[in-house]
Each structure stands twice: as C-alpha cells, then as structure tokens.
C-alpha cells in the first residue's frame, strides 16, 4: 500500500449474488446433473461506485485505516509513515471525518504524534455515552504501549488512559459493551518471529467508562500456530435458541468462503456470464467427465429411463459405469425424502 490512496467503499453498493445452503441434495437425472454443474455459478452483476471515494492521498505509506460512526458522522483514522513498519518516528495517526456518507472528507487532523515513537491505530469502539474510543499502539525500539483516546467529533482526540498491564499486548482490538459487565476488548501478546510457546491472548474490562482496565488471560503458552491474532468480538445479547446462533455462525462461514469472495471481487468489476465464472473458478467444461467424477466421489446418479430410450440407449445397455437407471416413481420418492430439492 506504499503511496496508495485510502479508499472508502459505500456499503450500500448493491451485491446481486445469491447464496444457497444445501443440506441434502439429490439430482434425479443426467441432464439435471449437467445443468446443475453449469448453472450453479450464475450470478447477477454487482454495481460498484463509478469512482472510488478517496479519503487520503498524501505522499507516504498511508496504512491501517479504521472507520467508526459517531451518530451521523463517519470518522476515518489511519497512520502514515515511510514503509511497512510501526516503530519509526515518522509514523503518526491521523483522522478525517465525513458528514455525507463518505462522499467528501474534512482536512486531516493529527490524533497522535509522539516524538521518538511510531504510532498506529489498532482498535476502535464507542464509550457508554456514544463517544468514539481509539486504541493507538505506540512503539520505539524497546517499548510498546497502548494509549486510549476519546473523541466526540472526530477532530479533537483526548488521551484517556495508558493501561499498565501485566502482559504487554501486541495489540488491543475493538471495544464493545456488555450489560452488567462494562466495556470490553480483546488483546493478544507474543512475537510474530517466535514459534515457541510464548504467546497468549485474553480480555480487558473497564467498569468506569474506559478510565481503568482489568486484564484477564484466556490462553497462554501457545505456539505461533495456536495463537489467535487480531481477534475481535461483539456482544450478541441473550443467546436464546442455541441452534439459531449455530445456523448464523454457519452462514457467516459460508459468506466468507474464498470462492464466494473471489466471485464478488470479479463481479465488482463488471457483470459476468457463466463462461467467465467457469474460467475464473477453473471449472472443467467436460460435462461427461463431471458426471463421472460425481459418481467416483460417491454421489448417487440415477438416469431417466425414458430419456435413455429417446437417446438411443436400449434397455439393458450400459450407460456410465456406476449410473443407475431410474423411473418417475423413484424421482417422486426422492423429492418426498429430500430436505431440499434444486430444480434447474
């Protein structure tokens, strides 16, 4: 991102992609399997902004932006230095605000620029009165501390606290409110260059609107592969139906599937047809081989006997190895038994 402008993407941009969750899906004939394979990736074009909305385009390494709403105002905070480093004295934290949903932005103001330190925004949130909180990591060659700032207008930021913690975090992430508990945030500590069991993470809790923070460790002595970095949390209220939350979690995992994200990225550029998406996903166009692959993977494939006869395949003659001849009665039975049926 060196020298690149920071861009604001309007969240109201329309995304025309339909996501369907399949629990049990049985395809009833060879033709339907073929069409399912070729049509499953049909997507409607996504309409992006005609031009990106630039927040910051000053020379330098503009990086690590965060956006927080204060009422109707958007506040974008970011840092700028000379390279992908934090502890350089040249790196400081800045802010701009927008009152028109990101179309225009106010001039840059300085949030934090401490001599002898590099600074970067690492977490945000709201206090109990609706003001914005911002965690800023302040580093030099030997020290790493976390400063908490508050602002009511996105222009003037006041230092609220610099917690002295038993375990020094690499980063403290977004602040969220939990009734009867107070304000909370997650932290993680360790070294990206150390593979040994020296990593940990946990929670911070404030019962006085951010003035003081109590640290709790959830896991410690973790190796780097076990170490959760940059975690974030939200308060969901009373859990209620646990199954409902499980389904919501599964949906979130599907929404973040790499294939879906790749499709969204391409559709943001321009509408795509099925063949474009097929090439993007490197899907074979050999439909016969697709059906054979499904059979090899253990998928039950049944073929309409009437369709076989119409295609010149006589009774008793082989079709694909593993494919089973079927009837309308069996198709009807499958429909009754299946939780979900796809029709193309």
CB atoms within 10 A of CB 205: 15
Q: How much is the pLDDT for 19? A: 26
pLDDT tens column, 85-138? 888 999 999 999 999 988 899 999 999 999 999 999 999 999 999 999 999 999
Lowest mean pLDDT among 44-58, 251-265, 326-340: 44-58
SS3 percent helix, strand, coil of the chain, rounded to 5, is 20, 30, 50
Checking if the pLDDT of 66 tops 80, the result is yes
**What ranges do the domains of the chain cover?**
6-47+253-337, 63-237
Q: How much is the pLDDT for 80? A: 92
* H helix or E strand, kind and range, residue 159: strand 158-161
Counting every residue, how long is the chain?
344
- Yes or no: say if 132 and 151 are a contact pair by the CB < 8 Å rule: yes
By C-alpha distance, which of 339, 256, 244 is closest to 19? 256
Pairing between β-strand 182-189 and β-strand 171-172 as defined by DSSP bridges:
antiparallel
Q: How much is the pLDDT for 299? A: 87
- Yes or no: say if 200 and 222 are a contact pair by the CB < 8 Å rule: yes
CA dist., res. 125 & res. 210, Å (int):
11
Q: How much is the pLDDT for 195? A: 86
Pairing between β-strand 302-304 and β-strand 324-326 as defined by DSSP bridges:
parallel
Sign of the alpha-carbon dihedral angle for 149, 95, 192, 217: positive
pLDDT tens column, 177-207? 999 899 999 999 998 888 889 999 999 999 9
CA dist., res. 230 & res. 189, Å (int):
10
Q: How much is the pLDDT for 17? A: 28
The two structure tokens encoding residue 261: 């994200």
Bigger pLDDT: 218 vs 8? 218
pLDDT averaged over every residue in the chain: 79
- Yes or no: say if 170 and 202 are a contact pair by the CB < 8 Å rule: no
- Yes or no: say if 116 and 108 are a contact pair by the CB < 8 Å rule: no
Checking if the pLDDT of 325 tops 90, the result is no
pLDDT band for 61, please (50, 70, 90 cuts).
confident
By C-alpha distance, which of 44, 45, 93 is closest to 268? 45
Bigger pLDDT: 125 vs 42? 125
Q: Work out the burial of residue 171: count CB atoms within 10 Å of its CB; fewer than 13 is exposed, 13-18 middle, 19 or more buried.
A: buried
Q: How much is the pLDDT for 20? A: 25
Residue 154, φ and ψ in degrees, nearest 5: 75, 5
Checking if the pLDDT of 8 tops 60, the result is no
Checking if the pLDDT of 23 tops 80, the result is no
Q: How much is the pLDDT for 32? A: 24
pLDDT band for 241, please (50, 70, 90 cuts).
low
pLDDT band for 316, please (50, 70, 90 cuts).
low
By C-alpha distance, which of 125, 73, 76, 160 is closest to 234? 125
Q: What is the pTM of this model?
A: 0.59
Checking if the pLDDT of 33 tops 60, the result is no
CATH number given to 63-237: 2.120.10.10
> What share of the chain in percent tops pLDDT 70?
81
By C-alpha distance, which of 211, 126, 216, 127 is closest to 169? 216
CA dist., res. 344 & res. 340, Å (int):
13
């Amino acid at each position: 991102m060196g020298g690149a402008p920071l861009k604001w993407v309007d969240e109201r941009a329309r995304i025309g992609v339909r996501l369907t969750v399949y629990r049990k899906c049985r395809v009833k004939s060879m033709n339907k399997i073929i069409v399912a394979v070729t049509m499953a990736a049909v997507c409607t074009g996504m309409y992006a902004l005609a031009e990106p909305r630039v927040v910051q385009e000053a020379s330098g390494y503009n990086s690590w932006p965060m956006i927080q709403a204060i009422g109707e105002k958007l506040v974008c905070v970011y840092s700028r230095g000379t390279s992908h480093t934090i502890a350089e004295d040249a790196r400081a934290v800045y802010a701009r605000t927008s009152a028109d949903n990101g179309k225009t932005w106010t001039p840059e103001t300085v949030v934090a620029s401490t001599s002898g330190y590099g600074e970067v925004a690492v977490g945000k949130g709201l206090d109990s009165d609706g003001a914005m909180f911002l965690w800023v990591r302040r580093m030099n060659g030997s020290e790493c501390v976390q400063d908490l700032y508050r602002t009511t207008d996105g222009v003037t930021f006041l230092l609220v606290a610099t917690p002295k913690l038993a375990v020094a975090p690499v980063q403290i992430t977004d602040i969220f409110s939990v009734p009867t508990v107070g304000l909370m945030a997650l932290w993680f500590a360790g070294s990206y260059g150390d593979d040994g069991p020296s990593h940990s993470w946990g929670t911070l809790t404030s019962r006085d609107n951010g003035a003081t923070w109590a640290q709790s460790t959830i896991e410690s002595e973790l190796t780097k592969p076990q170490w959760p970095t940059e975690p974030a949390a939200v308060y969901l209220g009373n859990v209620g139906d646990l199954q409902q939350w499980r389904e919501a979690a599964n949906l979130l995992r599907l929404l973040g599937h790499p294939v879906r994200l790749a499709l969204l990225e391409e559709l943001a550029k321009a509408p795509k047809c099925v063949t474009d998406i097929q090439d993007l996903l490197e899907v074979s166009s050999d439909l016969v081989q697709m059906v054979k692959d499904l059979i090899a993977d253990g998928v039950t494939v049944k073929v309409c006997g009437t369709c076989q006869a119409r295609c010149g395949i006589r009774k008793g003659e082989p079709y694909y190895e593993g494919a089973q001849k079927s009837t309308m009665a069996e198709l009807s039975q499958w429909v009754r038994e299946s939780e979900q049926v796809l029709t193309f």
